[in-house]
Structure 1
């Protein structure tokens, strides 16, 4: 029988963990075998706790907020071309008067009374149309409906909406079946925030001129302002169907779809939310907020790759969209795309250099990329910004462990479990540190605590088994290694350690069975275990 001694060589799967937002990602595993004075590193299966949740969990947990069209959705203070009128029969720009416009579509004025002024908007006589000469001349005779409409346009463009309303009403008194004036009246009411009157005017315009895309668009916008989403949806959808190139109508309809997505998301109907956000994006391809919310909905369904792509589009459109960068970083973490995660966290820190969580997560991503030395600086920065940040202290100890600086790892890990005694990863990591510092009893205590706090963690059971073996308590070691394997049947490091514990307890047959299991699972571990059992290399097949 082989002598059972606490100083005899044996194996451990030491798995170092990193904490994020109170939950953690175990990051690196390795087995250490010491036999006959020689040290051999044996790679073992990497074990993920799958409990990790990024610091930046806000997009996942928050409710989505609805959008509102801005007051100046209908705004012609810059004399936009949309305020020029279309004739009912030709669709060319002009006024309803057969005296205005020309077949060629050139901009003009009331024939014989106003200058052509070709470079300006249809029917404009000067910058505002409110000069004393123009008004004075008009006062000498009875104005036509078209002229009142024109005066209303000029007041509208000058931002004098009350006066514009008066002029449009005068035009309608002169000519009751004048759809252009009805439309303009509705738009003036809209900018006065008199939305019910705007709705009535736009409805009247549509009675006079059915299938008028512009009127449906303005009606939909007014409905949006009164939170009549269903009516707004119908009106705006009709507007887009009549004129698919009307950007204002498309943008407004995209808001309706966005709000439908918000309602579905907040009700937990994530598939419906995804469909609505996609419709919003189809109408408005540069809708960064819709892409961000689409990513949130995908996250809720655990469609991580789709979520990452949505967040990626959000930051492409809006490079300063910090929340989307935060979420994108975490998606890269979950996908194991750590180099991309590093770059995304760096972008977050560009905007938020004093964000402790961003610095912590950058350190985590660097560690997952095996860039241990680089990880230390942002983790220290996180602690500097937030001294009581238990997870950052734990992560700093994790990084120090992985660069082999176990003495430096001890202080931050002690601080981590002082701040958060119920953090299993902190106890696990400091157990690793104590093991390397040959503080065997302390290591046993910490691994016990890790198992107590997180009983379904295979690596914690395996390392507790190692700690028992280090003290020559092989029976207890076997129990813990078996428990690790029960939780994770393909855990090569635990199979190796179990085989070694069997060997140390005198059960060579059981050790050989573990060797056979390891042959298919991890040939290198199997070979090392064979040498431990038989003191020679295994036969070549």
Structure 2
């Protein structure tokens, strides 16, 4: 039964590494006037006009103009703020080609990495953040670059690489709350729950009002089977942020595993009320209803979850299980087989998402009596997301294997 931790993504533009002053300009007058006009328009958030001014400056100054690289950088920032990342990447690249100043080079690399990330090109973003780390002498910038590279590794499911970079970020900046939060999430995902608890507790010490840290510490308690401690942390997260959709869902799961289904359903329902498109809460509510014998209501919830996320095989097998419990065996078997047909598009799925799709298929194999493929899928899902071994130990769809020696060898 899936839970929702949060990776705190903070990849932002560096806009203040290169400071400008009137004394800096001593070259072509028309180019400099256009450049200064672009700076003033940027301050006023008149980005289209700023882009025109920087373009004029570049045309007037030409490739050998002293501030050619800087003008490309400033125009790149304006494009980036407008979300025109292709144009921004082109300008940052021009800046990188011409820049001789370390600060300007680092700023351009960092912001090009940000633009690549926004364009869905994580490998290119990682390369730029790596170069930024290599050449920067500014600890604050380097810490942020490590953090941002870690986030990209994290989303790719490269947890050890992510943890290493988060560790570098907090080593350079011991008060970097986001680094502790995200490293804690990564530790949780590789089932290192005690280390996750340490990181989230540190984040709470740094920012006592940080709801996400309480939520994520609750997940670490959940992973250890300490449901009451988990509920206490989820409740604190909700008190700090009454609209925290995921925290209601997660507290519902803790109550669910304590067998308090009605209380769990109340939390799932609140989560759904806050975000009607939160498919995870719909699916979890369906499972709780199924456990209470309310099979048709469960099926209705699973239908909503599947409608919101048609690639999620786990939702499909949960619905199939509800159909099975309702006595609709043929429909259930058909849906289990349908779950096995979902294709793993490598360009679409990675890390956690990929692991859960395989986990869902594993549950389908289990219900169809295919032990060999079930255990193969179980191994693969755990390799991608190690904390799924703890999910499997309590997975109702795998109950017939709980005492199986081969199953125990995989999950222990």
The reply to whether TM is greater than 0.5 is: yes
Confirm or deny: 8 A CA contact 2:7 2:151 kept in the other structure.
Answer: no
Q: Which residue of 2 aligns with 1:182?
A: none
> 1:329-374: CA deviations, max 9, x gaps?
3233333333222222212211221232221122122223443332
CA–CA distance in structure 2, aligned partners of residues 357 and 402 of structure 1: 21
CA–CA distance in structure 1, aligned partners of residues 106 and 279 of structure 2: 42
2:252 corresponds to 1:442 = no
Q: Which residue of 1 aligns with 2:363?
A: 525
2:78 corresponds to 1:263 = yes
Q: Which residue of 2 aligns with 1:237?
A: 63
2:305 corresponds to 1:457 = no
> 1:376-411: CA deviations, max 9, x gaps?
111111111112211000001112212322232121
Structure 2: 5+ residue runs without aligned partners? 37-53, 343-359, 370-395, 402-412
CA–CA distance in structure 1, aligned partners of residues 24 and 189 of structure 2: 58
Confirm or deny: 8 A CA contact 1:233 1:253 kept in the other structure.
Answer: no
Q: Which residue of 2 aligns with 1:18?
A: 5
TM-score by length of 1: 0.55
Q: 1:275 to 1:526 in 2, by over 3 A?
A: closer
- Larger helix fraction of residues: 2
CA–CA distance in structure 2, aligned partners of residues 391 and 480 of structure 1: 27
Q: Which moved more, 1:335-344 or 1:429-438?
A: 335-344
CA–CA distance in structure 2, aligned partners of residues 261 and 402 of structure 1: 45
| From 299, 318, 334, the counterpart of 2:136 | 318
CA–CA distance in structure 1, aligned partners of residues 185 and 267 of structure 2: 23
Q: 1:278 to 1:400 in 2, by over 3 A?
A: same
Q: Which residue of 1 aligns with 2:171?
A: 350
Q: Where do 1:259-408 residues align within 5 Å?
A: 259-284=74-99, 287-318=105-136, 320=139, 321=141, 322-408=143-229
- The Cα of 1:225 is off from its aligned counterpart by 9.0
Confirm or deny: 8 A CA contact 1:345 1:362 kept in the other structure.
Answer: yes
- The Cα of 1:445 is off from its aligned counterpart by 1.0
- Larger strand fraction of residues: 1
Structure 1: 5+ residue runs without aligned partners? 1-13, 22-53, 72-192, 200-218, 240-248
Q: 1:404 to 1:254 in 2, by over 3 A?
A: same
Deviation above 6 Å: which 4+ runs of structure 1? none
Confirm or deny: 8 A CA contact 2:80 2:115 kept in the other structure.
Answer: yes
CA–CA distance in structure 2, aligned partners of residues 501 and 339 of structure 1: 37
Confirm or deny: 8 A CA contact 2:31 2:60 kept in the other structure.
Answer: no
2:314 corresponds to 1:506 = no
Confirm or deny: 8 A CA contact 1:376 1:400 kept in the other structure.
Answer: yes
Q: Which residue of 2 aligns with 1:254?
A: 69
| From 409, 414, 435, the counterpart of 2:235 | 414
Q: Which residue of 1 aligns with 2:316?
A: 495
- The Cα of 1:315 is off from its aligned counterpart by 1.2
Confirm or deny: 8 A CA contact 1:496 1:525 kept in the other structure.
Answer: yes
Task: Give 1 or 2 for the bigger CA radius of gyration.
Answer: 1
- The Cα of 1:291 is off from its aligned counterpart by 0.4
Q: 1:298 to 1:515 in 2, by over 3 A?
A: closer
CA–CA distance in structure 2, aligned partners of residues 259 and 351 of structure 1: 28
Taking only aligned residues, the RMSD between alpha carbons, in angstroms, comes to 3.4
Residues matched between the structures, number: 333
CA–CA distance in structure 1, aligned partners of residues 24 and 277 of structure 2: 63
TM-score by length of 2: 0.70
Tell me the SS of whatever aligns to 1:16.
coil
2:300 corresponds to 1:482 = no
> 1:25-53: CA deviations, max 9, x gaps?
xxxxxxxxxxxxxxxxxxxxxxxxxxxxx
Confirm or deny: 8 A CA contact 2:85 2:116 kept in the other structure.
Answer: yes
Q: 1:380 to 1:289 in 2, by over 3 A?
A: same
Q: 1:404 to 1:234 in 2, by over 3 A?
A: same
CA–CA distance in structure 2, aligned partners of residues 502 and 318 of structure 1: 58
CA–CA distance in structure 1, aligned partners of residues 114 and 338 of structure 2: 43
- The Cα of 1:454 is off from its aligned counterpart by 2.5
Confirm or deny: 8 A CA contact 1:65 1:262 kept in the other structure.
Answer: no
> 1:401-423: CA deviations, max 9, x gaps?
12322232121111111211211
